[in-house]
Amino acid sequence: MSLGLSNAGITVLGGVDNNSDCRSTYESNIRGAKFVKYDISRLSAPELGKRLDLRRCDRSLIFVGCSPCQFWSKIRTDRTKAQRTAFLLHQFERFIRYFLPGFVIIENVPGLQNQKKHTVLPDFIRLLRRHNYAWDEGIIDANHYGVPQHRIRYLLIATRLLKSIKLPEPKPDPKLTVRAFIGAANGFRKIEAGHRDKTEFQHTASGLSEANLRRIRQTEKSGGSRAAWKDDVELQIPAYIGRDNIFSDVYGRMYWDRPAPTITTRFISFSNGRFGHPNEDRAISIREGATLQTFPKEFSFYGRSLNALASQIGNAVPPALAERIGRHLLGVHHGEV
């Protein structure tokens, strides 16, 4: 989000995260912004104001909340761990109530809006209403905002400067496909599963077990699925016997001429989604995942493991989407939209 807003021409003052793996990535790429390593539930609004030199009721100030979303996601995850971060939007409320910024942005999974039994989002909407913010919200596909993947997200933008505001208009583009972003024509040389790229390009791919190598070799190029080996008693997975229609993307290859599926924190794993390379026998690499998330190739990621890098990339708001949001808010601020 910080990169996209910066690209739109917005001065990013800083970002808050309690994950120390993010510090080097953030500070190396978001020039001039401060990384505040803090558990947001323990960070007071005055303390944040002091660290980032913020003023209350600043009409040009934008607050952005992109809290971890696994609790609200349809993806199977550790619910105990996810529960701890499920209600961070309530923490975000404290900062909005204290600073009353000119603009607010929230990006999250659709479940934040769809799960009616929880009050976390309605409570936040009531806060906006109480402080005379105008807002718009909705479920968007990042593919309609410059991103070569179908990434369905909940988006809210709000302002207290105007009586009404709208989300940025979607602009579908059929050219936003996997082929347009990765592959040899885009600077990605052919590599094998388990390849380690020691350069900053980070074209590194996870290894595959012998069984998974056999599975992906039998999977058709460009869009093939596990249906190709469902009748092979050595390769078929017991949980999927007779259940070909569930989790059909698992162990699948991406299509060259379609948008990628959602790049999750596990995109480097062939067994966790349609993350097989369209024609090479491996899952997509760290750099390929970042590129499909619209990070520029010179953007470097730092972390203690491949999983740490993949988590940063998969959890990120695609910079192209963030830039569209930023340009839209600048237009609103200057009366152009």
Handedness of CA 85, 87, 88, 91 (dihedral sign): negative
Q: 99-125: per-residue pLDDT in tens? A: 999 999 999 988 877 665 566 889 999
Q: Just give the CATH number of 2-169+318-333.
A: 3.40.50.150
Q: Let me know if 57 is a catalytic residue.
A: no
Kindly list the domain boundaries of the chain, sorted by start residue: 2-169+318-333
Name the pairing type of β-strands 62-65 and 103-108: parallel
Catalytic residue among 22, 57, 66, 69: 69
Name the pairing type of β-strands 152-159 and 103-108: antiparallel
pTM of the model: 0.93
The confidence score (pLDDT) of residue 187 equals: 97
Question: Within 10 A of 251 (CB to CB), how many other CB atoms are there?
Answer: 27
Name the pairing type of β-strands 152-159 and 134-141: antiparallel
Residues of the chain under the 50 pLDDT cut: 71-73, 82-83, 85
